[in-house]
Amino acid sequence: MIPHITDSHCHLDFPDFEGQLEQIIANAAEAGVTRMVTICTRLRHEPQVRAIAETHAPVFYAAGTHPMSAADEPLASTDELIALAKHPKFVGIGETGLDYHYTSESAAIQQASLRIHIDAARQTGLPLIIHARAADEDMAEILSEEFAQGAYSCVMHCFSSGAALARAALDLGFYLSMSGIATFPKSQELRDIFAAAPVDRILVETDAPYLAPPPHRGKRNQPAYTAHTARKGAEVFDMDYADFAAQTQKNFDRLFSKAAAYRVAP
């Protein structure tokens, strides 16, 4: 019996998977990946992403405006996000966040967009899905400042930032998600950050089609490869793979409680 795990973050609407979703989802099941959350990064694409979740039983979805697109897309409204959240398979707000690596010139609009998404997460009770790159100080400050205005839940998706942001997120009760980056040979510093975190606050993901872990590095990633990252996670936490997989399932169910509670209508 292969331990079950969840790919907490992928992008099944991207052209990389066009016409192949049946096989991609079958591959995932064979690897023990029995659920996946596909992420809409531009709200105008939400209908296509929703359709994928409606068509495929193991797939849930979330939607938001990616920080790298924040300057190019209409600013989301809290009401718009709350309305989307009424769908039974809509389980998270985002991804949103800050990315100053490529798009620092749009920092102000990224911050405004982030605060709107936080408000929607707070009002819906759904977890916020955060993308953070080269913006650790601003990210920690905004997350903490907003949390003081009212609690919300959150996952730092594809976490690859510094120890200070990890600690700030964990101190707020948030979760860190381990992607293929954590499996790369040169990522020991990142693995050390994960190892210092409580194991009951860890998720696993692919961010597919990006960041494939070895032995598939450099190729198109897919949800099935979450298993490679989870096996590395088991090593990081010095756990048996089945035990680590079970722990990440509990963590996912706790954070993404709407997905955990979802039942197909009779």
Domains of the chain: 5-261 (3.20.20.140)
DSSP per-residue string spanning the chain: -PPPEEEEEE-TTSGGGTT-HHHHHHHHHHTTEEEEEEEESSGGGHHHHHHHHHH-TTEEEEE---GGGTTTSPPP-HHHHHHHTTSTTEEEEEEEEEEHHHHGGGHHHHHHHHHHHHHHHHHH-PPEEEEEES-HHHHHHHHHHHHHHS---EEETT--S-HHHHHHHHHTT-EEEE-GGGGSTT-HHHHHHHHTS-GGGEEE---BTS-PPTTSTTS---GGGHHHHHHHHHHHTT--HHHHHHHHHHHHHHHTHHHHH-----
What confidence score (pLDDT) does residue 266 get? 62
CA atoms within 13 A of residue 157's CA, in its CB half-sphere: 28
The first and second tokens of residue 76, run together, are 């989301």
At 101, which amino acid appears? Answer: H
Determine the average pLDDT of the residues in 12-30.
Answer: 97
pLDDT attached to residue 263: 87
* Tokens linked to 242: 């089945």
For tokens 């010095």, what's the residue? 238
**pLDDT, averaged across the chain:** 97
Each residue of 78-127: pLDDT tens digit? 999 999 999 999 999 999 999 999 999 999 999 999 999 999 999 999 99
- Mean pLDDT over 240-249 rounds to 98
Q: pLDDT (tens digit, 9 = 90+) per residue, 147-185?
A: 999 999 999 999 999 999 999 999 999 999 999 999 999
Residues 6+ apart with CB under 8 A from 207: 9, 10, 11, 157, 158, 179, 180, 221
pLDDT beyond 80 at 264: no
